[in-house]
Structure 1
Amino acid sequence: MKFNADGSFYKITTITTQFIALNLLYLICCLPIITIGAATTALLDVTLHYADGEKGYLIKDYFLSLKRNWRQSTVVFLILLVPFLLLGFSSFFWFAFETIIGTVAGLATIAIAGLLLITFIMASALVARYENTTKQTLQNALLLVIAHPLKAICLLLIPLTIGCLAILMPSLKIILIAVGFSLSAYSSAFLLLSIFANHK
């Protein structure tokens, strides 16, 4: 049997391997915790280019993006991390009362924390896609989330859905761990591109 480098099987295998490698690379880069912002920006950067038809080299381009955007993406991450952690702590505090008011307040803090998480995803994509000040990037991210609430909610639902599938369906756990983050970023890239297209 003759090997065909242009065949569909070879292309699918190559792409799958690259996305698995990209996923593992992302997980490794997130391990120091403080690097989550830079790792996420780089992941969104390469998947945005891939979704936009600018194929490139996923692994090589990931490192280039990491080097190029690490400073601003880390600052963005730390700015949003502090209130996110405070809101998380507040939600436990309110739910501990086990009252209607406590439950409502707890749910409100979770909702705001969710808003910050979506803003982080949007801001990471903006850092990857555009050059701007950190302050303006955060403002633009929040405004885009407010302007496109349904798409913004989907940005949060995509990783949550993949996470829930990994928990509820053990048979898929290994596959989802292998490609979960890269697949989530790639799926989110199409939503982000459609949002950005409305504000050129």
Structure 2
Amino acid sequence: MNRLFSLDNPFMQFLSKVCDLLILNVIFILSCIPFITIGASLAALNSISLKLVRREDPYIVKGFFKAFASNFKQGTVVWLISVALFFFFRYDYMIASSMKGDLFFVVRLLLLMIILVLAAAFLYVFPIIAHYVCTTRQAIRNAFLMCMGHLPYTLIMFVYFGIIGFLLFFSTKTFGFVIAISMICGFSITAYICNICFSRIFKKYDPEEESDPAE
């Protein structure tokens, strides 16, 4: 019986990680309520998720808000840039879609390629901010380089988010299911899955005798 409830028991370790992800999900959602704080919240979410993947046993609440505070300025700037670019290219794509002709077909393809590259870089930039000490320009530059340099991982994450997007638009039931899961544990589980990829990617850039990752 004592072994069953021992912290070294794989089942208890699993339950502990599930609880951590549930708590992390709630904190992330609450910290995103002011729209402008989403960038810092994403950085903090990735910071804690990466530590969970690497089994560093972080303090979830304390660690989240520490990472949130240390990455607030940089995360907010990157978030606002990302939102501005999204609306800019979405507006351009809508205009091109309303036009007929081969020229505008080519324009739509180019815009779609740009949007996909920006989306890939968006996946990488907040984990980079959370893990490394670098300027905003360096973080954005490295996000573009990594998303192209580690294309298999990028495609895996695209497939994952593609499945989520498909479920959101497939039917009302699947839409409600995704929203319900997201409110319970979806954001933290997604971050955890993505950071399994990022942990392997970052190993190639981290020094062999790694100091504590930057918050």
TM-score bracket, shorter-length normalisation: 0.7 to 0.9
Residue 43 of structure 1 aligns to which amino acid in structure 2?
L
C-alpha contact 2:50 2:196 (8 A) present in aligned 1:
yes
Q: Does residue 182 of the first structure (1) align with residue 188 of the second (2)?
A: yes
Distance, in Å, in 2 between the alignment partners of 1:136 and 1:53 is 28
Deviations along 1:164-187, whole A, 9 cap, x unmatched?
Answer: 335546374323442221111100
Work out the number of aligned pairs and report it.
200
Identical pairs, percent: 25
- Is the aligned partner of 1:192 residue 2:193? no
Question: What are the residue-to-residue correspondences of 1:55-74 with 2, within 5 Å?
Answer: 55-74=57-76
Change (3 A) 1:18 1:76: same
What displacement does 1:44 show? 0.6
Secondary structure, in 3 states, of the residue corresponding to 2:148?
helix
Distance 1:189 1:94, change over 3 A: same
Partner in structure 2 of residue 31 of structure 1: 33
Q: Which residue matches 2:5?
A: 4
Asked if the contact 1:37/1:74 (under 8 Å) is kept, the reply is yes
Say whether the 8 Å CA contact 1:23–1:180 is kept in structure 2.
Answer: yes
User: Aligned in 2, Cα 1:31/1:117: closer, same or farther, shift over 3 Å?
Assistant: farther
Aligned-partner Cα distance in 1 for 2:68–2:97: 39
In terms of mean alpha carbon deviation, does 167-176 or 180-189 score higher?
Answer: 167-176
Deviations 1:8-33 (A, max 9, x none): 55544443233223223222222322
Could you say what the CA RMSD is over the residues aligned between the two structures, in angstroms? 2.5
**Unaligned residue ranges in structure 1 (runs of 5+):** none
Retained in 2: the 8 A contact 1:77–1:120? no
Name the residue aligned to 1:115: 117
What SS does the corresponding residue of 2:71 show, helix, strand or coil? helix
Query: How far does residue 5 in structure 1 lie from its aligned partner after superposition?
Result: 5.6
Contact preservation (8 Å) 1:159, 1:181: no
Inter-CA distance 105–151: structure 2 relative to 1 (3 Å threshold):
same
Normalization by structure 1: what TM-score? Answer: 0.85
Which residue in the other structure is 1:75 paired with? 77
